[in-house]
Structure 1
Amino acid sequence: MSQADTPSRADGLLTLAAADALWPELLSNSAVPAALEAFTSLPADARSGHVLLGSHLVPTVQDADDRWHVQEVDVRRAAADLRSVKVNRNALVHIAPCIVPSTGQEDAQALRWRQRLDREWSRVRDHDLHDLSWQQAGNGDLRQLAGIDWRRALVVRPKAEAAHTWWLPRTLTQVLDAAERTETQWLLAARVCSRCGAYPDDRPEAQRMQTGRGQQTICSACSNATLRPYTRELEGLLYSALSKKRSSLEVSGWRCAVCQEAAASVIDHCHEHGYVRAPVCQACNTRERPNYLYRNDIYVTDRYVSLFHSHAQDWLRHWHRCPGCRARTTLPLPHLAALTAVLVGAPMRPTHRVPHSSRGRIPCGELRASWTGSHNQPRSCMITLSVDYCPGGEHRILAKVPYRTAVDRFRTWLAEMAPEVAAAAGPSRYDTVPAQFRPVIPDTSSPPPSLF
C-alpha cells in the first residue's frame, strides 16, 4: 500500500485496519521485523487510550461510531525511529526459560514483555517448534510486542534435555525495555490528578474524564468541586440533530446522570427512538450496553443482569429519559429481550452439579436472547430465549415470547420495581410524541465531534 493509497481522513486519522496495513510497509527496509497486526492484536488494546510502537506511545481516538483511530504522523514518527535501529543478530540475550520476579501489584495494561514471553515459552515448551506452527503449539494470542514481530527474530537453541532455550538480539531487548519504561511512566502519570497532583483516593478508571485536551485523571476532591448535576438540559433532543449542530457542550462538566459519582464523558441516547437520554461516564455507558453476538442476538451475562437487581431504579429512570420509551412504557428491544431473559428464561435455565465440590447445583451455559422482526411491527416480533454450551445440548431453546407479551411483563415489573418511573409513563402524558420515529441518520459530511 503506497502512501497515496493509505485511507486517511482530512484530519490525519487512520483506522486501525489502515494502520495495520501501513506499519509493515514503513518498516519494509528495516532490520526490526514489523508485526502484521500491531494495532489490533494482543497486547495492543486501543481502548486503553494508546498503542505502543517501539518506544513511542501513540494515542488512540474514538469516533461517534465507537471506531478507534490513530494519527498517521505518530505512526510514521515511530517507524522512522525503529528504522534507525541496527540489529546485530550475533549478539543474543537469553530470555526463556527464566524466572521473572513479580513486582507485586502489576497493571493489566502494562507491557511486561519478559513475563509475557516466559508465559509463552511455558505454553510451547512441550512441542517441537520446528514441526509445529505457533497456532498448533497453542499460541495464537501473543503475536507482537510494541509493533515488533518478535517471533521472526527469535533464536531457539536445543538442549540435551527436552526443553529448549529462547534468545533474542540484544538490540531488540533494549527497544522492548525502552517501550516498557515509556508505558510504565504513562500509566503512572495517568493515576495522578492533573489539577492538584495527588493520587486519587478512588479507582483511577472511575476518575478518567474527557476534556478538550484529551483524557485526564481528576481526583474526587477536584471533581466534586467542579462537576454540576445534570438537570434535564438535553431532554427531548434528537441525538442526530445535536451532533449536526457541532455543539460546544462541555460534557465533562456534568456529573454522570446514572452513578452520580464520576464525570460524564459521553452523551447516551436511545438507539431505537433516537432521543438523547443524558450525559454519562464511560463506565456506565459500557455497563448498560448489551453483549451483542449479532445485531439481533445478545448474551445476557451476570454483569448485565445486575442492572435489573441492585440498581434497577437508577437504570429504569435513565432508560425512560427517552420520550419514546416513556410514551410506550417499554424499553429498547435489546434491553427488553435481556429483561425477558431474566424474568422468563432464568428460572427455566438448566443446572448441573459442580464436580468434586459440595456447592450443590449451578446454572450452566450462557443465557442467550435473540429476536426476529421489529418493534415497529409488534405482531411480527418474537423473542427467543435459549442456553448455549449446556452439557445437555449445545443449543437449548427455553421459550419463545411474543413482543407484546414481553412488553406487558415489563410494565408489570416496572410498577413493582420503580413506581415513580411507571407513574410518569404512558401515552396520555406524551401526546406530542410522533407515532413513527425517524431513523437516526449520522452526518458523514465532515469528521464527527470528539464529544460524541
Structure 2
Amino acid sequence: MLISPQHARDLLADLTRTCPMRLATAALGTRGFHHHGHVFFGDTALEGHKAKNRWWFVAEEVEQAGRTLAGLRLEPGDLVEVHLPVRQPGEVRGDKGSDWLGPDTNWRREIVSWMGNAAFHELEPEGDWDLLHTVNLHGLPGALTMEAFRARFGKMVRAGTYPLDHMTWTGTSWQMPREYVEVMDRWQARDNELLEQARICRGCGSLGPRYGAWRAPTPRGYVTLCPACSVAACEPYTGQLAGVAYTSVPRTTRPARFLCRMCGLSRAFTWDHCHDHGLVRGPLCASCNTYEGKGVRFLERPGALALLLDCPACERKQTLPERFRVDIATEHVRRIERHGRCPSRPRVQDTTPTHSGLTFTLGCTAHNTVWSRSMTAAEIAAVVAAFVTAGPATAS
C-alpha cells in the first residue's frame, strides 16, 4: 500500500517511540530521490513512488524501518573505537594513499569534515592555521570543544539519526555504540550501492557521474539518461508555447516532453517564464533553472540573454525582468565608481529602492570608506537597454 510522506512520518514516529536514540522523523521527505530514488531511515531504504505528480512511500517498507529502529539496543558499555581519518594540510580528494576523501559516501569522513568546519569558525582572526590539523585534549582539531561542535553540527542528520549524539571521547580515541556503528556501516554500503545503480543510463547502459548529473525528472519519477539518450528521448523545443501565459499552459503539455531550452542536453524539468509579464520563455532542466538565479553570472552563459528575451514583452521593450535589472545596475555602478584614485572596485553593501530608482551603499575595503550612489529609473533603463543591445560583455 502506498502512503503519503506525512502519513509515513506519522507512522514512523509511532513505531519508534521506544527507540533508544533520537530520530529525525520530520526529515523524512523526498529530496533524496534525485540521487537514487530512495531515502534512508537507519539501514532501511525507503523507495519513492511517483503518481499523479505526487510522491508516495510503501507502507510495508516504512513499517520495516520503524520496527528495525525500535528493536535497537544501544548498550552503554558495548562501545567500539571509531577510526576518524585525519586530514593532512593541503590534502584533497583523490590524493594517492589518502583516506580523507575517497569516492564513496563515508559517514566517518563527514564527521571529520564537520570537525574541521567547526574548528575553522572557532579560530581567532590571527590564530595559527596549523592548529586545525592537530588534535586537542578533547579529541577535536584546533581549539574546538565538544560543546561548540554540537552547537554547530549537532543537528546534522544521516540515515535519519544524529551521529554526534553517540560520540564519546575516552581521552585517546572516539567511541560509539557497536550496534549504531553497524547500522551506519550497513546504511553507507547500501547507499553507495544505490548510487552506483543510479549512474547507469536507462537507454544505453553507459555509466554516468555520481550524484545525479544524468538524473532527469519525469511524471513517474527520476530516470537516468545520458546526454545522447536524452536527446533521442525528448523533443527539441521550437517555440511551441511562445507568448503563452504561464497560467494558461495546458497540463498535458509537460516540460519533460522537451529538451532543456538552455543546455539542450537534459530533459526539461519546468516551464521557465518571465515573472514580470507572466509569459512562457521555454522549458529548462533543473540545473539550468537553478542557475538562472545567479544574476549576472547567469547572463554570461551562452544563450541566457536570448532565453530572457523570449518573453515578447521584454524583447519589445528591450529590457529584462526586475531582478536582472538590479543586478546589471549594480555591476554598472561597481564598474564606474571608485573611492578617489583607488583602483579597486567598491563592494556594494546595500541596495535600496527609492521612489525614483535605486540607491547603492558602496564600500572601499582598501580604505575602509563608505559612500552612496543613486541611479534614476531612466538611467537604469538606459543601462539595461545598452546591455541587451551589446550583450553580457558590458557587465565585465
Q: Is the 8 A contact 2:262 2:284 kept in 1?
A: yes
Report if aligned partners of 2:314, 2:321 keep a CA contact under 8 Å in 1: yes
Counterpart pick for 2:148 among 136, 159, 162? 136
C-alpha RMSD of the superposition: 4.2
- Structure 1 counterpart of 2:148, one-letter code: Q
Q: Secondary structure at the match of 1:385?
A: strand
Aligned residue-pair number: 357
Q: Does 1:413 align with 2:390?
A: no
- For residues 348 and 139 of structure 1, the distance between their equivalents in structure 2, rounded to whole angstroms, comes to 42
Deviations 1:106-157 (A, max 9, x none): 45xx64111123445566753659xx97452476135332221233333321
* Residue of structure 1 equivalent to 2:42: 54
The residue correspondences of 1:10-409 to structure 2 (distance < 5 A) are: 12-14=4-6, 26-35=15-24, 38=27, 51-58=39-46, 71=57, 73=59, 77-96=64-83, 102=98, 106=102, 111-120=105-114, 125-126=135-136, 128=138, 134=146, 136-137=148-149, 140-141=152-153, 143-158=156-171, 164-200=172-208, 205-242=212-249, 245=250, 247-290=251-294, 304-311=295-302, 314-348=303-337, 367=348, 370-372=351-353, 380=355, 382-386=357-361, 390=365, 392-393=367-368, 396=370, 398-409=372-383
CA distance in 1, matches of 2:266, 2:386: 32
Q: CA deviation at 1:240?
A: 2.0
Specify whether residues 261 and 46 from structure 1 end up closer, same or farther in structure 2 by C-alpha distance, changes over 3 A only: closer
Aligned residue type for 2:108: R
Q: Is the contact between residue 254 and residue 279 of structure 1 (CA under 8 Å) also seen in structure 2?
A: yes
TM-score (norm 1): 0.65
CA 1:153/1:104 → structure 2, altered by over 3 Å: closer, same or farther?
closer
Contact 1:237 1:276 in 2 (8 A): yes
Contact 1:384 1:397 in 2 (8 A): no
What residue number does 1:431 align with? none
Inter-partner Cα distance in structure 1 for 2:17 and 2:364: 44
Q: Which has the higher helix share?
A: 2
Report SS of the residue matched to 1:383.
Answer: strand
What does the per-residue CA deviation read over 1:214-238, in whole Å, with 9 as the maximum and x for residues that have no partner? Answer: 1111113322223321111111222
Q: SS state of the match for residue 82, structure 2?
A: strand
TM-score, normalization: structure 2? 0.73
Residues 103 and 96 (structure 1), Cα distance of their counterparts in 2 relative to 1, 3 Å cut:
closer
How many Å separate the matches in 1 of 2:194 and 2:338?
A: 45
The whole-number CA distance in structure 2 between the counterparts of 1:306 and 1:59 is: 37
Give the share of equivalent positions with the same residue, in percent: 22
Partner of 1:436: none
Give the 3 Å change call, closer, same or farther, for CA 389–34 of structure 1 in structure 2: farther
Cα distance change on mapping 1:112 and 1:118 into 2, 3 Å? same
